[in-house]
């Protein structure tokens, strides 16, 4: 019996707020038209998603016949009063400058600290792995946000790299491949694969 478990991570498609480089956490934003044509030949046994609509819509595009398990824990960091604002809007703000210099010890007004964010994501990951292990799944996909993917890669990728060293683009996912015991014990995966997404009709 194959002891491998695949957990794939995909970022939602590009949104209108992403295009203008605005902070987009718990607020939502419509997907750009091109994001409705992305596709992948991959399929998985179970699907999990952030409950924000940009992730749900992306999942419906990539895996149209599925019924996802929606988890609020998979949301992006809450940027509080900085939601919808850009660097240009905030660059003179003293609190913002402190946060840019040290995002692990400062946080947006009325938003989440990195500790609160990572604890929440850990809780969501635990829910996913509990389902995977209890139902003997060999594969699942998670549609979530850039910050969540960076955090999970920093924790579980075979190569140890810091949060900001990882890339989480809109046109590529990752497959984290675990053996069952590593997944159960919260260890790093044994293999990491890139999963490119393509535009329908363009390859």
| pTM of the complete model beyond 0.85 | yes
* Rounded average pLDDT over 106-132: 97
Q: How far apart, in whole angstroms, are the C-alpha atoms of residue 12 and residue 66? A: 16
Residue-wise pLDDT tens digits, 25-71:
999 999 998 888 889 999 999 999 999 999 999 999 999 988 899 99
Q: Which helix (H) or strand (E) holds 7?
A: strand 4-11
Q: How far apart, in whole angstroms, are the C-alpha atoms of residue 33 and residue 107? A: 32
Which domains are delineated in the chain? 4-20+30-73+113-199 (3.40.50.1240)
- Residue 200: pLDDT band with limits 50, 70, 90: low
Q: How far apart, in whole angstroms, are the C-alpha atoms of residue 144 and residue 75? A: 7
* Rounded average pLDDT over 68-82: 97
């Amino acid at each position: 019996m194959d002891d491998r478990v695949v957990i794939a991570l995909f970022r939602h498609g590009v949104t209108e707020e992403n295009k203008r480089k605005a902070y987009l956490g718990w607020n939502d934003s419509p997907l750009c038209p091109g994001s409705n044509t992305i596709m992948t030949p991959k399929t998985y046994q179970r699907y999990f998603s952030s409950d924000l609509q940009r992730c749900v819509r992306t999942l419906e595009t990539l895996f149209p016949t599925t019924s996802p398990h929606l988890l609020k824990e998979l949301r992006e960091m809450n940027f509080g009063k900085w939601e919808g604002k850009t660097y240009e809007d905030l660059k003179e703000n003293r609190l913002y400058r402190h946060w840019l210099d040290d995002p692990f010890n400062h946080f947006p007004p009325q938003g989440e600290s990195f500790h609160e964010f990572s604890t929440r994501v850990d809780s969501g990951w635990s829910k996913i792995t509990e389902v995977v292990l209890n139902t003997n799944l060999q594969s699942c996909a998670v549609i979530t946000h850039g910050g969540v993917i960076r955090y999970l890669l920093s924790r579980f990728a075979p190569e140890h790299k810091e949060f900001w060293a990882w890339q989480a683009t809109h046109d590529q996912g990752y497959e984290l491949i675990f053996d069952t015991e590593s997944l159960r014990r919260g260890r790093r995966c044994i293999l990491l694969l890139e999963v490119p997404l393509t535009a329908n009709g363009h390859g």
